[in-house]
Amino acid sequence: MASNKITQTNGNGNGNGTVTIEGVLQARSANGGLKVDGKWYNLSRFADFDSTVLDQLQKGHTVRLTVSAEKWVKDIELVGQATDQERANGHRDQERAADRERQIARAVALQCAIRLAGPRAELRAADVATVLKAAQAFEAWLLREADEA
């Protein structure tokens, strides 16, 4: 997975210089982090680059980052666009992640509902229905949209 190309190194070799890395943008975090070929990089507040480049970046784009101290992005350049196939693959990855998140939420909701029912050795059919109804309520709460929270 890690196919980062280090194309240039500047500095004195003690980690204070900059490195230019070219790779595929895999993800962006809400706080501005960029994941390129499996490694996360942070946007430096001291960077002096055109912020419109950030608005254009999408998962699957090939980017060239100038990085200092192995993690701070000083400059960003959009090198290549994602192909339709790469975008489709990214969409499938997002769907799989959402399905997995829903499965985890369901498991957690069921565990919570069982704990709510109490430590009974045997559950009657009516108790199971009550537990499943409580699990559905927990699941709905867990999967609610962030703006509803």
Model confidence pLDDT, tens digit, residues 55-100: 788 888 888 998 888 888 888 888 877 666 665 666 677 777 778 8
Look at residue 136 in the predicted model and tell me its pLDDT: 93
More confident residue, 84 or 53: 53
Q: How far is CA 60 from CA 16, 36, 109, 120, 147, in A?
A: 29, 9, 34, 51, 28
Write out the CATH class of domain 5-80: mainly beta
What angle, rounded to 10 degrees, do the helices at 125-142 and 84-117 form? 140
Domain boundaries, the chain: 5-80, 84-148
Encoded tokens for 79: 């090198």
CA 23 to chain centre: 17
Look at residue 7 in the predicted model and tell me its pLDDT: 47
Please give the model's pTM, rounded to 2 decimal places.
Answer: 0.47
